[in-house]
Chain A
């Protein structure tokens, strides 16, 4: 996967922070050329770390359990990328030179680079180490003795959690992406839209109970988002679905030609649709059922 940005010709480097208590939550603040250089190096280090992991990253799925470092991507137009898209596209982000005064409220820091062709790169990092250093006692050499540093000191990290270009959100730390994107809230809000999309393909399933359940349970909402993002609900065979549910002990009922799912079985049913339930029978007569916390499709 390529990154659409001219790394050699950066004309603007905007640094900013995200704060819990601010409206709007993201603002930029001036930084000197050395910090700008360090931020550009962090961007390059992030891309390099991603390339070392894989050059063909899988699509991010909200229901998947990821390792702390895993290169995945989301298309720029994806609903789950909305927050990052807003930050990337925001015009004239407000400048707030005093944004670092309440460091405890900072939840992330970011940089937006613009190249000579006007293409933009946005990079974001969750503020753990950045504000963590504030709690430490730092010392430095003054003449021949060590002295405490009394100024506020912020420490930049080695790389960012994610990079955004005009085509994709490239994610190095999926957990941080979820946190900074307020994914939980976005996923819960997207439940009606996701259900409507899936219902269109699976018109033999009654989704009203599932929608009601998912709007209260994040995990179920994540499954719905994942099922929709895979685009593999088309042409699902009703008989095959019923058979898979039966073999996995997922309780469903059929009335008026539609499959109804009881509230207790909603999660199980969604796991079936999300291809997380499977059965093996390596020992004849002893079928074993499994639930996959993480899975990736094998091609040939």
Chain B
């Protein structure tokens, strides 16, 4: 999911091309980096639906994460895209930066910032659990990908589990 959220960068790079690597190899690499992670993500959604891996999510508080897309665009996509890749050293630097960004996305649970979801009309909410007195209730925030435009506190939703923290609602 981390790599699939980076796929727009590879689309831009493929369009621009670099001088160091022949086009056929670079295009194949970019296509691989776009198709495989997104294909895997589609497979994961399909598997969750097939396995009926559903959860009852209770909304405590929900934040629309669309602001994060701007952060994603300006803090990650544009700086990496505009870097000059004329030398092997520059290319290596970009790949290191990309690895670091991927690690941060994974570590900070930001891998849900996928422009594919946005393109298909999904909104991404960060869902905080209800602050009840129950010591067994979950305390970690979850990410919900849904067509809904808003979520209200106390609302119960049935969502498919994509990972331990990312959920996907098919039919609101």
Other-chain contact of A36, B52, B132, B161 (Cβ < 8 Å): B52
Give min CB distance, B85 to chain A, whole Å: 39
Other-chain contact of B137, A28, A90, A112, A120 (Cβ < 8 Å): A90
Give min CB distance, B54 to chain A, whole Å: 5
Q: Which residue of A lies closest to B133 (CB)?
A: A86
B130 touching A91, Cβ below 8 Å: yes
Other-chain contact of A95, B51, B58, B161 (Cβ < 8 Å): B161
A86 touching B54, Cβ below 8 Å: no
A12 touching B158, Cβ below 8 Å: yes
Give the chain A neighbours of B129 by CB distance below 8 A.
91-92
With A and B bound together, what is the CA distance between A90 and B51 in angstroms? 23
Other-chain contact of A92, B50, B51, B142 (Cβ < 8 Å): B142
Give the chain A neighbours of B66 by CB distance below 8 A.
none
State whether the Cβ of B68 lies closer than 8 Å to any Cβ in chain A: no
Give min CB distance, B156 to chain A, whole Å: 6
Give min CB distance, B53 to chain A, whole Å: 5
A91 touching B134, Cβ below 8 Å: yes
Q: Which residue of B lies closest to A85 (CB)?
A: B134
A90 touching B136, Cβ below 8 Å: yes
Interface of A, secondary structure class, is mixed
Within 8 A of B (CB), among A48-107: 86-87, 89-97
Q: Which residue of A lies closest to B156 (CB)?
A: A118
Give min CB distance, B172 to chain A, whole Å: 14
Number of A-B pairs, beta carbon distance below 8 Å: 68
Among A12, A92, A112, max chain B CB count under 10 A is at A92
B135 touching A96, Cβ below 8 Å: no
**What size tier do the contact residues of chain A reach?**
20 to 34
Q: Which residue of A lies closest to B129 (CB)?
A: A92
- Interface 0/1 of B123-145, CB less than 8 Å to A: 00000011010111111101000
A33 touching B52, Cβ below 8 Å: yes
B58 touching A92, Cβ below 8 Å: yes
Give the chain B neighbours of A91 by CB distance below 8 A.
58, 60, 129-130, 132, 134, 137-138
Q: Which A residues lie at the B interface, using CB under 8 A? A: 11-14, 24-26, 28, 30, 32-33, 36, 86-87, 89-97, 112, 114, 118, 120
28 of the cross-chain contacts (CB-CB < 8 Å) are A11-B54, A12-B56, A13-B54, A14-B56, A24-B135, A24-B136, A24-B138, A24-B139, A26-B136, A30-B51, A30-B53, A33-B50, A33-B51, A86-B134, A89-B132, A89-B134, A89-B137, A90-B134, A90-B136, A90-B137, A91-B58, A91-B129, A92-B58, A92-B129, A93-B136, A94-B138, A96-B164, A114-B158
Q: Which B residues lie at the A interface, using CB under 8 A? A: 50-58, 60, 129-130, 132, 134-140, 142, 156, 158, 161, 164
